[in-house]
Amino acid sequence: MRRWRLNALFGYVLALLICGTAITLSSLPADARDFYVAANGSDWHSGKTMASPWRSLSKVNSHYFQPGDVVHFRRGDVWEERLLLQNAGSPTLPITYADYGVGEKPTIGEVYHMPYLANADWNVIENLRISGFRKHGVEIHDIEHLTIRNCYIFGCKSRGIQADKNCNYLLVEDAEIYDTTDRGTWVTNSDHVTFRRVTASYCGIRSEIVNQNGINLGTGKDIVVEYCVVHDNTNGIDVGGSKDNDVTIRYNLAYRNADSGIVVGHPLGRAFVYGNVTYENNIGILVKSSANAYLYNNTVSKNTVYGLQLSTTGEVVVKNNIVYKNGEPNGFNILCLAPGQTLTSDYNLISDHSFRSLGAAINTHEYHESMTLAEWKASRCGKFDQHSLNLDPMFVDKSNNNFALRKDSPCINAGVDLGVPYNYALLPGSVWPDGVRTGNQGDFSPWEIGAYIYSP
């Protein structure tokens, strides 16, 4: 009897435990919880209401978060600590680190994912200021599906975002990255990475380290950089070292970068660079190494040394671009110089003071020659730019860098149909990064030359 009662009691307790565990597990998604952190809080608090917030990031870092949980940091507060990403969300229920209250976005010192120790996939960081007071602003490894949204990443002693190795499906959108000693971002060995409506400025510009870039992506496949604005960096957007897949750089604005506005240097894949505006950089668009690059409907003007520098040994196709008044007085509009390069170029507007070719692009070896568009057209058996124009493109306001087209522009309806998806181009009045609008060239057919559709 006694034994039966003990067994029964044990079974009852076991059933309770199992039942309790089942309730906990099944209630996870519906039980997404909010936590609050404030500089005047206490780590003895529950953290579960605005009236009982935690105080420190070490308290946050010691907590085990579940999918769907949201950690709110109070606006106006500052934590000179490191936030560790060490819990995983799920595709439908990410773990989110965000804000609450009023005033300036909350500031934290650094966001860090400790590789190999914690699976922290499916996290979202939004509405924070990340100061990178020690080194990088965000440093991640081996973390997938991280979204960084509407954050300021600034004042970093090294890089704004450092993402090396398997940071696949990283999405950075509506973020501002500025005043970093090293690159604004360095993302490499990671696939399916998107930068959208990101502003990167003053990255590396005060650094003694050379070649610091605003948005810099290394090895990876399926890379997209779109609607971003990059200015006052060493290079603006630099995508290099892709593996076997495509890179898309579209609808970006790159200006006043000390070296190049846009750099493509990846050896194996293809880079599609279209609908971008670059001005007042040293070089508007640089294609280097053995990249295969397709430059469509870009507007490249007022760059100091070259408009386009095509020094790749790969394939380059240049169509529907405005390359106007670059490299004056001592540079050139277009520089082609790599032996073995395969160049296709037509339907562009290219002002005189035009080409400097060091031979290879034209399959000869006539070094250090320069020529006008007319001479370029007449040379090489008529292979290049037979439909291209040498005219004033009639920008709306060139001196104030409004490169939309006036109604008398010769670029209107002078381009060639390049098909989907290149049929979308900028609409006049676009403002970077969050006011960029595009329209379908097919609705204003034929196509324009340059980055802008003429929309009366």
Note the residues at the interface with Ca ion (CB under 5 A): 413, 444, 448
* C-beta of 77 vs 448, nearer to Ca ion: 448
* C-beta of 133 vs 444, nearer to Ca ion: 444
* C-beta of 56 vs 413, nearer to Ca ion: 413
Write down the least CB distance from residue 414 to Ca ion, Å. Answer: 9
Q: How far apart are CA 203 and CA 221, in angstroms?
A: 24
* C-beta of 287 vs 449, nearer to Ca ion: 449
Write down the least CB distance from residue 395 to Ca ion, Å. Answer: 16
Write down the least CB distance from residue 319 to Ca ion, Å. Answer: 15
Write down the least CB distance from residue 444 to Ca ion, Å. Answer: 4
Identify any residues that bridge with 235 across adjacent strands, giving them in sequence order: 213
* C-beta of 268 vs 416, nearer to Ca ion: 416
Q: Which residue is nearest to Ca ion (CB)?
A: 444
376, 385 in Cβ contact below 8 A? yes
Strands 402-405 vs 395-397: parallel, antiparallel or unpaired: antiparallel
* C-beta of 375 vs 417, nearer to Ca ion: 417
* C-beta of 54 vs 447, nearer to Ca ion: 447
Quickly tell me which residue has 């897949």 as its tokens: 245
Q: CA quadruple 43, 47, 51, 55: dihedral positive or negative?
A: positive
Q: Which residues, 6+ apart, have CB-to-CB distance to 76 below 8 Å?
A: 101, 102, 103, 104, 106
Can you read off the two tokens belonging to residue 317? 């196709």
Write down the least CB distance from residue 413 to Ca ion, Å. Answer: 5
Write down the least CB distance from residue 268 to Ca ion, Å. Answer: 35
* C-beta of 300 vs 414, nearer to Ca ion: 414
Write down the least CB distance from residue 448 to Ca ion, Å. Answer: 5
Q: How many other C-beta atoms lie within 10 A of the C-beta of residue 290?
A: 16
Q: Which residues, 6+ apart, have CB-to-CB distance to 5 below 8 Å?
A: none
Give the chain's count of helices (H) and strands (E): 3, 40
Q: How far apart are CA 219 and CA 392, in angstroms?
A: 39
Q: Which residues, 6+ apart, have CB-to-CB distance to 238 below 8 Å?
A: 213, 214, 215, 216, 217, 260, 262, 263, 265
Write down the least CB distance from residue 276 to Ca ion, Å. Answer: 19
Write down the least CB distance from residue 439 to Ca ion, Å. Answer: 10
* C-beta of 169 vs 444, nearer to Ca ion: 444
Q: How far apart are CA 179 and CA 162, in angstroms?
A: 15
Report the half-sphere exposure of 169 (CA within 13 A, side-chain side).
9
Q: How far apart are CA 95 and CA 100, in angstroms?
A: 16
Q: How many other C-beta atoms lie within 10 A of the C-beta of residue 328?
A: 14
Quickly tell me which residue has 């971008």 as its tokens: 276
Q: How far apart are CA 238 and CA 102, in angstroms?
A: 37
Length of the chain counted residue by residue: 456
* C-beta of 359 vs 428, nearer to Ca ion: 428
Write down the least CB distance from residue 88 to Ca ion, Å. Answer: 49
Report the half-sphere exposure of 269 (CA within 13 A, side-chain side).
23
